[in-house]
Amino acid sequence: MEEREQWLSLLEGDGIDVSQGRAEELARIPVRELRQRVFDSEEPEEDAPQRAWLVRTTGRDVRDVWIPTGTCWLGDPQLRRLTAGMTPEQIKAAVDVDLSHLDAPQRGRIAAELHAFLNRMRPGDIIVTNDRSDVYLGEIESEASSEGGLLRRRVRWHDFEHPLDFGRHLPDELSARVSNPDAGLIDLTDFVGDLLPLLGKSSQARSRTAPLPDATDELAERLLLPREWLAECVELLKERPQLIFYGPPGTGKTYLAQHLAEHLTGGRPQNVQLVQFHPAYSYEDFFEGYRPRKSEDGTVTFELVWGPLRRLAEAARARPDEPHVLIIDEINRGNLAKIFGELYFLLEYRDRGVNLLYGTDEGKTFTLPRNLVVLGTMNTADRSIALVDAAMRRRFAFMELHPSEEPVRGLLARWLHKKGLPEEPAELLGRLNDRIPDRDFKIGPSYLMTRAAATEEGLKRIWRTQILPLLEEHHYGDGTDVRGRYGLDALRGARE
């Protein structure tokens, strides 16, 4: 995803029109200006919804200073004076010079936090801070004032009889968001609905839980699969939102994953993303990585580009009441440890956060939204399920699609009957699979789920160009007469 497209995506998430005609207009705007528009779109208007922020300090400042004096602060005494209205670029330039002893990711995070504290916070916003496991809530009462590089705001701290406790009073997702002790400020606006009741106020925040729709008779009829089997798939995803369909070639794994994703997302194609793994696929392709870009003056720079998982995760976070589905086709063909990296952890612990490889979590740790479902497909003729590492098998549920087992057994006969076509292809496929000794190399019905297979010429062509080459590869070097054993004439002769 190009940088321009990333900023357009962020603008769209903020409700800015980026339809086709509008996008063409925005395409003529320099990337730097687009970036500034994103920052501008983050600025809450006077009547904008209430936001929430976590602000941290060091030592015992919370109990000894912030709470008694009704204040909070952020910044560094080594910084020059910062004033309201400074652009993100101006703040970043000041931080780069005055805090040059820090590395680039640290300076970038600090600059983003100072911009938010100085320009995005508004009186009335909720503020959260903590001293170890003790949590304190309040509401901002003033604009920011500056004492050199130290920014201050007045706060009306809520008078709890006892401090709140992270583990008992805050939801798991909120605890995960603030689990990085290095972050000085984190935007918690997604959790306003959880924080308002703790302040004794009513909440009308939308749910962050996206219930998965149950399997329906219509879905079962469309896929020609038992509703009970599809219902089990959905129930597995409700328990753990990761599922792999595995089996020999031609069993409809990818087809099923695509149609199930369509059902789970309510027919929203923008909520579904499909990727295919292969041996050269990497973390940088899947999540995010640096890509070279040549500017108009010929200068080559490297820009961080989001991959499909990062884009879909951010979309799911922006629309928490809608399920989003990532389909990973041929999941076992990639180096899974290399592709997932630190994200492996999040597949098992959706309520926890991790620091990202390239530090783009801005100090607040990255979490995988609960409304993001992962569907994988795995061809067992390519690599056995036993060869998938234990860490991955523990994080996914597995549902087999095999020609000799339900729900795939009989699928071709049901499809032929529904289409009013002759039954011979189903009979031939059954005899073929009876002759294949290796369970993982039996042939699935999708090769013959086409009207061409209902004609003699079409059936011969499918057998000659698709089915026999698979079996020739399987028996390569073992002396088997593939055509004599698996050819149409041999199978038809077995009937007589």
Q: List residues bridging with 126 in a β-sheet.
A: 52, 139
Read off the pTM. 0.69
**Residue with the larger pLDDT of the pair 81 and 34:** 81
Note the pLDDT of residue 419. 92
**Confidence band for 351, pLDDT divided at 50, 70 and 90:** confident
Over residues 378-403, mean pLDDT: 79
> Are 49-199 and 228-400 in the same CATH fold?
no
Digit-coded pLDDT (tens) for 256-309:
999 999 999 999 999 999 999 999 999 999 999 988 888 777 888 888 889 999
Least confident among 11-25, 215-229, 257-271: 11-25
Structural domain spans, the chain = 1-42, 49-199, 228-400, 411-493
* CATH code at 49-199: 3.10.590
Q: Are 337 and 345 in contact (CB under 8 A)?
A: no
Q: Are 286 and 268 in contact (CB under 8 A)?
A: no
Superfamily the domain 228-400 falls into: P-loop containing nucleotide triphosphate hydrolases (3.40.50.300)
Least confident among 33-37, 155-159, 397-401, 414-418: 33-37
Note the pLDDT of residue 76. 87
Q: List residues bridging with 186 in a β-sheet.
A: 54
CB within 8 Å of 92: residues ≥ 6 apart: 107, 108, 111
Digit-coded pLDDT (tens) for 432-464:
999 998 888 899 999 999 999 989 999 999 999
Least confident among 43-52, 138-147, 176-185, 395-404: 43-52
Rounded to the nearest 10°, the torsion over CA 356, 272, 34, 114 is -30
Q: Are 173 and 186 in contact (CB under 8 A)?
A: no
**Residue with the larger pLDDT of the pair 15 and 241:** 241
Q: Which conformational region is residue 117 in: left (phi greater than 0), alpha (psi within -120 to 50 degrees), or beta?
A: alpha
When the pLDDT of each residue in the chain is averaged and rounded to a whole number, the result is 83
Q: Are 283 and 357 in contact (CB under 8 A)?
A: yes
